[in-house]
Amino acid sequence: MGINLSFDMFMQHLINAVGLGSLYGLIAIGYTMVYGILRLINFAHGDIFMLGAYFVFFATVRYKLPWVLGVLTAVAGATVCGLLVDRIAYRPLRNAPRISALISAIGVSFFIENLSVVVFSGMPRPVVQPPLLMKAFSIGGVRLVPLAILVPAISFAMVAGLLWLVYRTKPGLAMRSISHDIETTRLMGVSVDRIIALTFALGSALAAVAGIMWALRYPRVEPFMGIVPGFKAFIAAVFGGIGSIPGAMLGGLSLGFVEIMSIAFFPRLSGYRDAFAFILLILILLVKPTGLMGEKLEDKI
């Protein structure tokens, strides 16, 4: 199995990896924020991502809204859904054993997926890509479409904005405080439920943005489209260090890199692509259980 990879090909793979990885990272942020605060794996996150993509589909294809409006409605819609999920399925379980909230999360995820099948039908639907974003051009031997640059750019901008919010604003301070000690924060007079709701809203909005960009990059929507990306993004969040926002982005990029490069270097083993991702995950858990950038979190029981 000779490895024979030209520089151009490597660069092409690298561009592909950044495009995929930054999307994973964007979804991973939602997982990481919720986990950081509630120690809850929000299984419904991938489904909020799916809903975001569907809302864009309905806004632009069905109701012919212009793109900007379509994106805004989709983000708003997904945010509302995320808030509803928190309010209905998670908030009543705040003081319950963690497994209860986890099972509730799994139930919500099933519910959204199956309701989507009933409402939207199982048929995959095409998403119209704005032609401007798809005009391919070459730099050296590397093929690019503007979208491939736009996706990471937006992702990084989102992360920057989020970091500002978490580290430079009052609600951000409250969030960080909750993740350290929820009871003390409550005693300090912070409305914990509102801050948690804000976290869900932000995470869901980011998931919707990721869903929209995903739908542009891989232009079709279907009710189960959130499962695999959601799963991968979750790995990315753990890999980067769950609870850390830059870690989620870094984890996403690393995962994209590993997936793409496993094929670039071992084309014969392309069927094992996902196994590479999981093996990497287990390795990092064994060597550094808190992930690349995670802080030590005590199990909050």
Partner 1 sequence: MSGPDGTSEKNIKTRDGILTAVAAALFAAALWWATKNLDGYKLRIINLIAINAILGLSLNLIYGMTGMFSLGHAGFMAIGAYVSALLILTPEQKTMMWILEPIAPWLLGLHTSFVVSLLAAGLIAAFFGWLVALPVLRLGGDYLGIATLGFSEIIRIFITNLTPITNGSLGLKGIPAHTDIWMSYGCLAVVLVCMVRLMKGNFGNVLRAVRDDEIAAQTMGIDTFRTRVLAFSLGCFGGGLGGALMGNLITTIDPKMFMITQTYNLLMIVVVGGLGSITGSIVGAVVVTTMLEWLRFVENPVSIGGIDIPGIPGMRMVIFSLLLIIVIIFRREGIMGMREFSWNWFFHERTPGKTVGGGPR
Partner 2 sequence: MRRLLLVVFVCLLMTGSAFAADEPIRIGVFNCLTGQNAFGGQLELEGTQLALSEIPEVLGRKIELVVVDNKSDKTEAANAVARLIERDKVNAIIGTYGSALAMAGGEVAETAGVPVMGTSCTNPLVTQNKKYYFRACFIDPFQGSGAAAYAYRTLNFKKAALLIDVANDYSVGLGNFFKQSFISLGGEIVSEMKYNSGDQDFTAQLTEIISKNPDIVFLPAYFAEGAIVLKQARELGAKFRFMGGDAMDNPEIVTLGGDAVEGFLHTTFAYDPSMKDMNPVAQKFTESWKAKYPDKEPNVNAALGYDAFVLVVDAIKRAGSADPDKIRDALESTKDVPTVTGLTTLNATHDAEKELGIVEIKDGKKQFIGTITP
Cα distance between residue 45 and residue 119, in whole Å: 19
Closest Cα partner for 149 from 277, 290, 14, 287? Answer: 14
The total number of residues written for the chain in this structure: 301
Cα distance between residue 221 and residue 54, in whole Å: 6
When the beta carbons of 69 and 228 are compared against partner 1, the nearer one is 228
Q: Should residue 103 be labelled a site residue for partner 1 when binding is judged by CB under 8 A?
A: yes
> Interface mask (CB under 8 A) for partner 2, residues 68-107, using x and -?
----------------------------------------
Cα distance between residue 92 and residue 67, in whole Å: 37
Sole binder of partner 2 in the list 92, 97, 107, 126 (CB under 8 A): 126
Sole binder of partner 2 in the list 224, 276, 280, 297 (CB under 8 A): 224
Residue pair 162/202 in contact (Cβ under 8 Å)? The answer is yes
Residue pair 200/86 in contact (Cβ under 8 Å)? The answer is yes
Sole binder of partner 1 in the list 22, 60, 79, 104 (CB under 8 A): 104
Footprint (CB under 8 A) of partner 1, residues 203-242? 231, 234-235, 238
Footprint (CB under 8 A) of partner 1, residues 46-75? none
Q: Should residue 114 be labelled a site residue for partner 2 when binding is judged by CB under 8 A?
A: yes
Sole binder of partner 2 in the list 65, 154, 263, 292 (CB under 8 A): 263
Q: Should residue 136 be labelled a site residue for partner 2 when binding is judged by CB under 8 A?
A: yes
Cα 234 versus chain centre, distance: 8
β-pairing, 125-126 with 220-221?
Answer: antiparallel
| H/E stretch holding 45 | helix 45-57
3-state secondary structure of 155: helix
Sole binder of partner 1 in the list 9, 100, 135, 161 (CB under 8 A): 100
**Residues found near partner 2 in the complex (CB under 8 A):** 6, 9, 12-13, 16-17, 19-20, 114, 117, 121-126, 129, 134, 136, 138, 143, 145, 148, 214, 218-220, 222, 224-225, 227-229, 259-261, 263-264, 267, 270-271, 273-274
